[in-house]
Every structure is written in structure tokens, then in C-alpha cells.
Amino acid sequence: INHRKLLDAIFTVCGVPDKLFRSLSSTIDKLDKIPWDIVRNEMINEKGLSPETADRIWGYVQMHGNADLINQLRNDSQLTSQKLAIEALNDLELLFRYLALFNVTDKIVFNLKLARGLDYYTGVIFEAVLTQY
């Protein structure tokens, strides 16, 4: 799982222009298919980001884990200066509470590189994986 507002807040603190948020989300979404160096080159050469901005984004999107990641991100004062980040972290915290009630948190990965570039994603982003059938 991830959250669209959290991605937007990350892009903001990394200095990405608003007009690139959606296309950059699509680029980030490629990270489960192609290596970081290729994604980084696309960010720099096709999207026009500086190498420093691309590397700052990488510092975030390589993070993954469980509900503990929410607290780690809450300790990032630059990120939590963004209203969208606070809203997203609150949403994710509530979601993890519900997941705990259903005793399924061990099946959930909070992954900051899960992104979608489509405008109809406005909140929690999730991807399901079928492990057996």
C-alpha cells in the first residue's frame, strides 16, 4: 500500500514542480520492473529533474515496511511540514488499525515506490498479489 497524497508531499519536499507529479508517479511506478539507474536517467533526461532531486526522491521511494514506517515518516520534519503528508499518514495509520483488527498486517507491505500516475488515484493506493490459487 501507499498513498497518493504522501507521494505528492514527497515530490513537493524534493523540489519537483507540480506539473510533473502525475508523469513522475508513472515513472516511479516502473521501479518494480526496471532498475533505479534507468528510472533515475528518465527522471533527469526526460522529466528535467536535477540529479540531486532524483536522488532525494530515491531516498524516500526505496523505503518500505509495515506500520512502523508511518512513525519513521512522522519524524521527518520536512515531510510533515506538508499538509498532504499529515493527511496521508493519518489515513494510513487508520487503515493499519483496521488491518490489525482483521489480523492481516503481516500480509501488508507499506511501499513508497507503489505509485500510479492516473488522476483518479486520490488516496490510498493498493496492489494485491495472488500467492496461490
CATH code of 79's domain: 3.30.930.10
* Separation between Cα atoms, residue 55 and residue 116, nearest integer Å: 20
The position carrying cell 509495515 is 66
Does 62 fall in a domain?
A: yes
Cβ atoms of 12 and 60 closer than 8 Å: no
Q: Kindly state whether residue 14 falls inside one of the protein's structural domains.
A: yes
Instruction: Name the residue with higher pLDDT: 132 or 98.
Output: 98
pLDDT, tens digit (0-9, with 9 covering 90-100), for 86-97 = 999 999 999 999
Residue 130 inside a domain? The answer is no
Domain span including residue 113: 2-125
pLDDT reading at 117 higher than 80: no
pLDDT tens by residue, 38-94: 999 999 999 999 999 999 999 999 999 999 999 999 999 999 999 999 999 999 999
Asked, for residue 132, whether it belongs to a domain, the answer is no
The domain tally of the chain equals 1
Is residue 8 predicted with pLDDT exceeding 80?
yes
**Is 131 a member of any domain?**
no
Contact call for residues 118 and 38 (beta carbons, < 8 A): no
